[in-house]
Structure 1
Amino acid sequence: MSTARHFASPAEALGYALALHQNGRHAECGAVCRAILAVKPDHHGASFLLGVTAFTLGRIEESQRCLALTIALKPDLADACLNLALLLRRRGRLAEAAALQARALRLAPGPADAGPVIVLGAMLRELGRTAATRAVLRRAIALAPDDAEAWRESGHGLRDGGELAAAAMAYGRAYRLDPSRTESLSDQLHAALSHCDWSAYDALCREVLAVIDSGRGIALPLLTLLIDSSPAQQDRAARHFHRAVVQPAALPQAAAAVPVAPPLGSPSGDGGRLTVAYLSADFHEHATAYLAAELFELHDRDRFRVVACSYGPDDGSPTRRRLEAAFDAFHDIRGCDAEQVQALLAAEGAHILVDLKGYTRHVRFDLLARRLAPVQVAYLGYPGTMGSDVMDYVIGDRFVTPPDHQPHYRERLVIMPDSYQVNDRRRPLDAPVPDRAACGLPPDGFVFCAFNAPFKITPSLFGLWMRVLARVPGSVLWLQQPGRDGADNLRREAARRGVDPDRLVFALHRPQAEHLARYRLADLFLDSFPYTGHTTVSDALWMGLPVVTRIGDTFAARVAAGLLNAAGLPETVTTSFDGYEALAVRLAGEPATLAAYRRRLAAARATAPLFDTPRFTRHLERAYRTMWDRHAAGLPPEAFTVPPL
């Protein structure tokens, strides 16, 4: 029986449906709307309300169809455009979403509201349209100069456009306007660190730590790794972030069923093949890809099938082409929403999903908010806990995730035998070495190298480096180029500490082979702290360059120490800044010791566990098998140590 026949008119029925919707009776509301449309298929009000209601109930395809029908029936209905833009954005169809959002703004009667303008700015930013983003966000701030979200989104746009000083100022304004949005503090501190502006460093660190300790708001997890925070504080920040940011990013689901993989192949000695899916935005020219490419190639195809789900750019590079060839199936999931990805993985029969991204830039929160495979693993991209119940395991080792750190992880710790970090033995090794002058280096003198990202440099670390330069006459410090403002800031900081700013040399970005060749011009690598080097340290060791590091208490503060041990050079791991400084100065005066270390590292390329990729792959496969066997037996995830081969 049609629900609409109980009403005098479709308009009366629509009024009743709207009341149902407002009272949270969404299923009944949808039934009334469908009844109206059965009688009057061109009723744009019913199709619009049904689109909104279907979205609320998790019926995404139905919602999209209804909203599109509404726009076809009434092209000037701004609210329909806004709602469909929201849906398409969350499904990853950004270009269409931005076009609809702009159309809605043109259609809206009267003065524009800042909210939809801010959303359009965010969409354009995500599309990489820097100039358009700036113009739209300037309009948003003009409309609502006291709107904290307008300033925060403006900060994002300025950051993505490389205007880091202006971004930090925008984030600071956002926080002053709305102190409850504590994530703006983290944004401000990260932007300041990214261009080496430490003028408010101590105060911002204290505020961010106070936010974590009090539980009064969000601290961005990645930022907590960069400052002097404890494992417990990083855990609290990640858990809060997951509850407040990641979970709400999920599309509503009609049903929250746990994916069930098909049974494995016929019984055999190894129990059949496991399908492992790797999820990342970094399957292109990126540090994660540089480390892991050979892993995907070396998986034992008799025992494992490997699938890639990529939501990052296709840069057309040789690295991308190599990665596409490395997997049994490579899926570009840009434009797919979480439910479509979940369906894809179910069709692939994925037993284990490995997230290679974590809380790093361009992560898709909608994919981290739900379970996409029966067993889920965090690996490589993010050195810390995700604070999430949907991640069952995190891959570590005895250095980065010692067993006594388990209380600070929601995930169960998997302790690899040598190092958690995989390495690619096909890294370029023999590119021509540039001359010193071409790199801006003096013709002679000791070269300290610190190629870690500029945002990893803290004031205390830089002060240590300047003391080392002062104690090693004629030496220079070779840094990654932090942009014009960042370089000027570092030069000023050097002068303030009594060091000639000309003793700082900045390395521009270069393709991987050219970049690695530059390591051969350096004499000693000085690591960052508390966020120690990952790929940069492995690169240095691969190229035969000794590294001085300090080991700390958190995952990120312990990575380089673990890499040095796995490479066979534990002597250069220190436990304090005093020890770090003393060792750097001593080695600068002992060329014979450094030469011996170089010879040891050259031999390590063929012998050290850090660079034994086949051995690492077999260990990781053992870990995957253990995880799956527990799941198949109906047992919950449990921490374990992978036995060495």
Structure 2
Amino acid sequence: MITLPSLSNQPPKRVSIAEAMQVAQQLQAQGDIAGAEKIYKLILEAEPNHGDGIFYLGMILCQSKRFDEAFTLLKRAVKVHPNVFEFHYNLGLIYESNGHFAQALECYRRVVELEPSGNSHSNLAKNLSDSGQLNEAIEFAREAVKRLPHNQRAIPHNNLGSALILRGELEEGLENYKLAIAIDVENASMHSNYLLASNYVANPDLASLFQEHKKFGDKFESFIAKMYENPLATQAKRAQRARADHKPRIGYVSPDFYGHAVGQFIEPILATHDKNKFDVFCYSDNFHTDDSTARMKAVVANWRQVDKLNDEDLARLIQSDGIDILVDLAGHTALNRMGVFIRKPAPIQVTWIGYPNTTGLSTMDYRMTDALADPVGAADELHTEKLLRLPECFSCYQAPKNSPDVGPLPALSNGFITIGSFNNFAKITPHVMRVWIDIMNRVPGSRLLLKNRSLDNPRLKQLILDELCKHGADAKRVELRSPDISSVEHLNGYNLLDIALDSFPYNGTTTTCEALWMGVPVIALAGNNHVSRVGVSQMTNLGLPELIARDTNDYVNIAVALANDVPRLAALRSGLRERLKNSPLMNVPRFTKNLEDAFDLIWKKYVAEPGA
């Protein structure tokens, strides 16, 4: 028995530990965290090894962000009661949410041992995939599908699809995504996964791909319209703010305000925005933060941390902030907020930089691009948004301040040419492999160097090497490197390359800029939609259109000719960084001015519309 303190004007009373637990959990559910914490501590004074008391107190401390104390208690809970799978599972969740992924994995492995259900296998599969352990991830996801009834297989099919695509098995990955969204028809994030992966398909039917995106918009706009009032009803009030002295409010929404590829492109823009002309807001959806996050927060007066808000609450916050132009930086990539943009919390909504295709939403007014990545004509018919083409290029690169120097051409000391790519392995399809191997085989003694996070796992590395050899590669001439931890080490990796090969149809963006910054010329292949024309935009703006191929034969010929011209390679290497610095691709002030002119144009157009 323990004595409860006075609650709700009731005198203290003696109760059993079980009764005290009920009171504490009730207080916790009501949001009285301090009251619940006090009672859990009383329970543990009376019974130090009370498993639920230890566990729930640990959860309370997590809610209060007292993580060191919380981890101590939660680890004690699983030590005192090592066979309670719920304790291991929740400890894993907390490890995961705080970025301790290796420890989280160990917890989830223990959960599978204690409770070998379909759900536990599926959860472990997701986390194995996130950590790059794709072979195991696929194994556990397949087992989860077997163990669960059909109507509960959406999550494991989704997890299996993600792992397969990361391993380069696009066709089966897409099929699993389709199975997932057929079971869980209202799951927008799974549907987004399917759309994102569809951009990797070689020679896609662009009209069909557009219709798949439009289906997403039609379906989820319909779902949300049935549940929620349309925030557009408030537009008339907001338009009253459109007077001569009003600065338009721009709101950026992203889960990638950190050292992510999108973060690297948006950071210099945030620092350069004309604060006398626009009020800038950032709605940060990322729980991961780093030095880049801190720099961005320092230059944005209105920073909102919104990862704990659901779509409805975030839409209401944006609406209450009076945002005039809301900019999506994620599209259908992970942790996107399509549900917010469907609710239309701002009168003008724009998607830009995070996704290489239409969102499919009728509520998304514009997509920011350029005339090289999305030529006027056919591209306009393949978007629900109006294409807003910036002068020159659709993005602008800023290199890390601690970048290493450009090294000498490796071929001069190696005596052979090294070709390679640091792109995401999902972009390196079997067709891409065959083309790259053809180049390698036509350049005597050359080497192929690949580096990405998929190569962090020894078993997967061997699987990829086997796949390359199946397509004709000589294993002795292939080097597969794990990703580097620091940005300096990562950039230094380009000092091992003579020629960078862009992936196709899904081009690189950041990796192309990195290679050029480090003096490595990039061979690009021109496709017929944005995802396959990023290289066209970048290489044209750099002033090297001769490195853009018309087809795969041309791609191979350009690469082979460049590999056989070492003096030209050496000249390119010595001058590429300065060429990039002086190109539109790195002219942050000019690019930001072009972006702001576009915002100003669409804002004035909106204000001038009848009834706005």
Task: Give the aligned partner of residue 5 of structure 2.
Answer: none
What is the CA–CA distance in structure 1 between the aligned matches of 2:528 and 2:205, rounded to whole Å? 7
SS in 1 for 2:251: strand
The answer to whether the Cα contact below 8 Å between 1:525 and 1:546 also exists between their aligned partners in 2 is: yes
Change (3 A) 1:207 1:539: same
The letter of the residue matching 1:267 is: A
Whole-Å separation in 1 of the counterparts to 2:372 and 2:206: 14
Q: Give the Cα separation in 1 of the matches to 2:321 and 2:451.
A: 42
How big is the shift at 1:267?
A: 2.1
Distance in 2 of aligned mates of 1:634 and 1:297: 32
Deviation at 1:517, TM superposition (A): 3.7
Paired amino acid for 1:504? E
Shift in CA distance, 435/563, structure 1 to aligned 2, threshold 3 Å: closer
Q: Secondary structure at the match of 1:630?
A: helix
Equivalent AA in structure 2 for residue 330 of structure 1: W
* Residue 582 (structure 2) pairs with residue 607 (structure 1): yes
2: CA distance, partners of 1:192 / 1:221: 15
- Among residues 463, 466, 469, which one is paired with 1:495 in the alignment? 469
Letter in 1 for 2:374: T
Identify the residue that residue 509 of structure 2 maps to in structure 1.
Answer: 534
**For 1:192, which of 138, 153, 164 is the aligned residue?**
164
Q: Deviations over 1:41-71 (max 9, x none)?
A: xxxxxxxxxxxxxxxxxxxxxxx999659xx
* 2:550 pairs with 1:580: no
**What is the aligned counterpart of 1:515 among 478, 490, 503?**
490
Task: Name 2:297's counterpart in structure 1.
Answer: 324
Match of 2:136 in 1: 166
Does residue 471 of structure 1 match 2:448? no
Aligned pair 1:389/2:362, yes or no?
yes
CA distance in 2, matches of 1:237, 1:511: 38
Residue 535 (structure 2) aligns with: 560
Aligned AA for 1:565?
T
The alignment's TM-score, normalised by the length of structure 1, stands at: 0.71
Contact between 1:278 and 1:309, CA under 8 Å: does it hold in 2? yes
Read off the aligned partner of 1:156 and give its amino acid letter: K
Q: Is the 8 A contact 1:541 1:567 kept in 2?
A: no
Indicate conservation of the 8 Å contact 2:162/2:173, yes or no: no
Q: Does 1:301 align with 2:266?
A: no
The alignment partner of 2:531 has SS state of coil
Pick closer, same or farther for the CA change 1:500–1:137 going to 2, 3 Å: closer
Shift of 1:512: 2.3
Relative to structure 1, the CA distance from residue 332 to residue 186 in structure 2 (aligned partners, 3 Å threshold; closer, same or farther) is closer
Shift of 1:363: 2.9
- Shift in Å, 1:248: 6.2
User: Once the 2 structures are TM-superposed, how far is the Cα of residue 340 of structure 1 from its aligned partner?
Assistant: 4.2
CA contact (8 A) 1:230 1:554 kept: no
**For each residue in 1:277-314, what CA deviation from the matched residue of structure 2 results, as whole angstroms up to 9, or x when unmatched?**
11112111211121221111211222112121112135
Query: Is 1:446 aligned with 2:420?
Result: no
**Paired letter, 1:472:** V
Structure 2 residue 321 is matched with structure 1 residue 351: no
Change (3 A) 1:160 1:208: closer
What is the one-letter code of the residue matched to 1:610?
L
Other-structure match for 1:289: 263
Q: What pairs with 1:400-479 in structure 2 (closer than 5 Å)?
A: 400-402=373-375, 403-424=377-398, 427-428=400-401, 431-432=404-405, 443-479=414-450
Deviations along 1:457-512, one digit per CA (max 9) or x if unpaired, are 11111122222222222222221142223321222223332413453241532422
C-alpha separation in 2, matches of 1:382 and 1:93 = 34
Q: Structure 1's 404 and 580: CA in aligned 2 closer, same or farther, altered over 3 A?
A: same
1:418 positional shift: 1.0
Q: Structure 2 CA distance, aligned partners of 1:94 and 1:259?
A: 36
> Are the equivalent residues in 1 in contact too, given 2:164–2:172 (CA < 8 A)?
no
Tell me how far apart the structure 2 counterparts of residues 553 and 467 of structure 1 sit (CA, whole Å). Answer: 23
Query: Across the two proteins, how many residue pairs are aligned to each other?
Result: 542
Q: Is the 8 A contact 1:156 1:167 kept in 2?
A: yes
- What SS does the aligned partner of 1:462 have? helix
Taking a change above 3 Å as real, the CA distance of residues 247 and 567 of structure 1, as seen in their structure-2 partners, is: farther
Question: Normalised by the size of structure 2, how large is the TM-score?
Answer: 0.74
Distance 1:365 1:189, change over 3 A: same
Structure 1 pair 391–258 and aligned structure 2 pair: CA distance change class (3 A): farther
For residues 609 and 227 of structure 2, what CA distance do their matches in structure 1 show? Answer: 28
> Which whole-Å deviations, capped at 9, do the CAs of 1:297-341 have from their partners, x for residues lacking one?
211222112121112135342x22221122232222233344443
Structure 2 residue runs of 5 or longer lacking an equivalent are 1-26, 40-55, 78-84
Judging changes above 3 Å, is the alpha-carbon distance between structure 1 residues 285 and 636 closer, same or farther for their aligned structure 2 residues?
Answer: farther
SS of the residue 1:479 aligns to: strand
Map of 2:592 onto structure 1: 617
Question: Are residues 394 and 463 of structure 1, via their aligned partners in 2, closer, same or farther at CA, if it must alter by over 3 Å?
Answer: same
Report the alpha carbon displacement of residue 370 of structure 1 after superposing the two structures with TM.
Answer: 2.3
- 8 Å contact kept, 2:255–2:330: yes
For residues 447 and 619 of structure 1, what CA distance do their matches in structure 2 show?
A: 38
Cα shift readout 1:588-610 (whole Å, capped 9, x = no counterpart): 00123334444663442343222
One-letter amino acid of the structure 2 residue matched with residue 169 of structure 1: E
Match of 1:221 in 2: 195
Other structure's SS at 2:252 match:
strand
* TM alignment of 1:14-163, pairs within 5 A: 128=99, 130=101, 131-132=103-104, 135=107, 139=111, 145=117, 151-163=121-133
Task: Show the counterpart of 1:79.
Answer: none
Equivalent-residue separation in structure 1 for 2:361 and 2:570 (angstroms): 46
> Would the aligned equivalents of 1:280 and 1:312 in 2 still touch at CA under 8 Å?
yes
Tell me: CA distance 1:159–1:399, structure 2 relative to 1, closer, same or farther (3 Å): same
Distance 2:380 2:591 in 1: 23
Identical-pair percentage = 24
The equivalent residue for 1:60 is none
- Quick one: distance in 1 between partners of 2:242 and 2:611? 23
Matched, 1:372 2:321: no
**Which amino acid in 1 is paired with 2:136?**
A
Q: Structure 1 186/233 Cα, relative in aligned 2: closer, same or farther at 3 Å? A: farther
Q: CA deviation at 1:521?
A: 3.7
Letter in 1 for 2:369: G
Return the offset for 1:525: 0.6
**What is the identity, as a one-letter code, of the residue corresponding to 2:430?**
P
TM-fit CA distance, 1:546: 1.0
Q: Which residue is equivalent to 1:267?
A: 244
CA, structure 1 residues 461+164, in 2 after alignment: closer, same or farther (shift >3 Å)?
Answer: same
Match of 1:280 in 2: 254
Q: What's the RMSD between the two structures over aligned residues?
A: 4.6
Q: Name the aligned partner's letter for residue 407 of structure 1.
A: E
**Given that residues 436 and 443 in structure 1 are in contact (C-alpha distance below 8 angstroms), is that contact kept between their aligned partners in structure 2?**
no
Per mean C-alpha deviation after superposition, the further-off stretch among 233-242 and 163-172 is 233-242
Distance 2:334 2:144 in 1: 21
Paired residue type of 1:297: A
Going from structure 1 to structure 2, the CA distance change for 1:239 and 1:211 (only over 3 Å counts) comes to farther
